[in-house]
Amino acid sequence: MQEIVAIVRANMVGPTKLALTKAGCPSFSCAKCLGRGKKGMDNATLRMVMENGELPRTPTGESLTEVGRLIPKRLFNICVPDDKADAVIRAIIEANSTAHPGDGKIFVMSVEESYVVRTGERVDA
Amino acid sequence: MQMIRTIIRPEKTTEVLSELMSAGFPAVTKLDVVGRGKQKGIMVGDVQYDEIPKQMLMLVVNDEDKDDAIRVILHVARTGENGHYGDGRIFVSSVSEAWTISTGKAGL
């Protein structure tokens, strides 16, 4: 069994849920979180915006936030059988990709054991 | 890669985050959590508080950077000289894959 930890944009919970359902793994848990990535401030875009005086679109605006500022995100925890992990990762990437920095990250970890609370039964794979 | 999850005092979060930034760990996720530790919460008079507000920081680092990150967190999040109960915990688990959504590429 694999645990997939995905950090996505706050407004992408709906599309992600839909993608998970389509990939055949509808179960997940989701939490509000704040986070920052490894990118610094993009000076070229900043200069462009200052010269044009236009309000940037959201992805651009996000790349202009000061370094170290935490941005609201949503954290998905999804546990899937080993053979479905790749399909689910692909589905999340496809649903969330806008090709801008800040789309998020996916981490994959292996889960040793899992149990169903209702029946007490152990689920492998 | 290693995932470091650390549960720290909320008032220490800002300091830990800025120290992590200057130590070269910009990428962090922060969650509000409540929990209790080995001391079973806090006893104030007759009342036991066992859902103590904490903050969880989650970061994924390369294997060779793990010890650096842990050292920074331990150094900053500890209160006083020798530390106190409630300063928090650090958990490390191994991550097999990492994907960047915007590029669709594997790796940190």
- Rounded-to-integer distance, Cα A76 and Cα B72, Å: 27
Q: How many domains does chain B have?
A: 1
Query: Domain of B20: which CATH number?
Result: 3.30.70.120
Instruction: Scan for tokens 């992805």, then name that residue.
Output: A59
- Rounded-to-integer distance, Cα B47 and Cα B24, Å: 43
Contact of A26 with A91, CB cutoff 8 Å: no
Q: Which of B28, B95, B103 sits opposite A108 (nearest CB)?
A: B95
Per-residue pLDDT of A66-104, as tens digits, reads 667 788 999 999 999 999 999 999 999 999 999 888 899
ipTM over the 0.85 cut-off: no
- Rounded-to-integer distance, Cα A24 and Cα A88, Å: 8
- Rounded-to-integer distance, Cα B89 and Cα B25, Å: 19
Query: B7 lies in which domain range?
Result: 2-106
- Closest approach of chain A CAs to the CA of B81, in angstroms? 28
Per-residue pLDDT of A37-52, as tens digits, reads 887 555 566 666 667 7
Say yes or no for a CB contact (<8 Å) between B102 and A5. no
B93 close contact with A: CB closer than 8 A: yes
From chain B, pick out residues whose CB is under 8 angstroms from the CB of A93.
99, 101, 104
Residues 52-111 of A with CB under 8 A from B: 67-68, 70, 73, 75, 89, 92-93, 96-110
Mean pLDDT per 10-residue run, chain B (108 residues)? 96 94 93 93 92 95 95 94 93 95 91
Checking if the pLDDT of A29 tops 90, the result is yes
